[in-house]
Each structure stands twice: as C-alpha cells, then as structure tokens.
Amino acid sequence: MKENKIIEGLNDLLKKNYDAERGYMNAAEKATSPTLVSFFKNKASNRNTYGHQIKDILREMEGEIDKGTSIKGDIHNAWINFRVMISFDKEEVILDEVERGEEVSVKEYDDFLSNTELPHSIRRIISYQRNNIAGALDKVERLEDQY
C-alpha cells in the first residue's frame, strides 16, 4: 500500500511538471521581453528534466506512468491566454499567473514530501526539484517588481 501511495504521488507530480512545462512554453510564446522569454524557456526545460527524473523513479518502482497534463493545468493555460488577450500589460499578467502556478507546485511538492515513508533516494530528488521550483518562484516575484 505504501508503494502505491508513493507511485500515485509521483504521478501527480509528473502531471504537474507536464502542466508547468506547457505553461512556461505558453508564457514564452506570449511574452515580449527577451529576458522573460529566455527565463520561461529555461524553466520549461527544467520541468521537462524533472518529469524525466520522476519517470525514471516510476520505472524503477515498476509503476505505471501517467502520460498527460491535468484538467486544472489545461484550464490554467486557457485562463492565461484569455487574460493576456484582454490585458494591456501582458508581462505582468503572465508573471502573475506563473507565480500562481509555482505556488501551487511548491505546495504539491511539500504535500508529497510530508510522507514520512518516502525512501531517502526519492526524497533527495524530489526535494531538489521542490527547492528549484521555490527558487523559480522567488525569481518570478523579483521579476514582477521589474515589470
């Protein structure tokens, strides 16, 4: 049972990374600032890497791997597109929504990491990802002050 809960949690994080990668690529397409475009593409690449790391863990555990994004992520991307379309300050809107998405990601990672039965090898990888996502959130908050 413990292993099933871990596999389920990893698949939830995997979907979140699919969502975030897609969201960052969407943000890169909508942004006009070269700095933001570069930042968003870099973060999309990071999320792709995190997804592959999680898939590797799932394979090692012989768990089934979810292949798609979540409905919440799809709705969030549609919401970003709508807000950007009607906004005069596209960069601010994009950064607001990226911040919201990263706040949710950090919470979901924290929830997963609260499982006291996680093996150290999994906890180390997921903690690293969580800390990098939190760092991206801090960077987004600083970028918001600039835009």
DSSP character string of 64-117: ----S--HHHHHHHHHHHHHHHH-S-HHHHHHHHHHHHHHHHHHHHHHHHT-TT
Q: What pLDDT shows up at residue 89?
A: 58
Higher pLDDT, 2 or 58: 58
Q: What pLDDT shows up at residue 9?
A: 96
User: CA–CA separation, 48 vs 44, rounded Å?
Assistant: 6
Q: What pLDDT shows up at residue 1?
A: 47
Q: What pLDDT shows up at residue 72?
A: 65
pTM, to two decimals: 0.85
Q: Which domains does the chain carry?
A: 2-146 (1.20.1260.10)
pLDDT band at 93 (very low <50, low <70, confident <90, very high): confident
Q: What is the mean pLDDT of residues 59-64?
A: 93
Q: Is the pLDDT of residue 125 over 90?
A: yes
Higher pLDDT, 5 or 75: 5
Share of the chain above pLDDT 90, in %: 69
Q: What is the mean pLDDT of residues 68-95?
A: 64
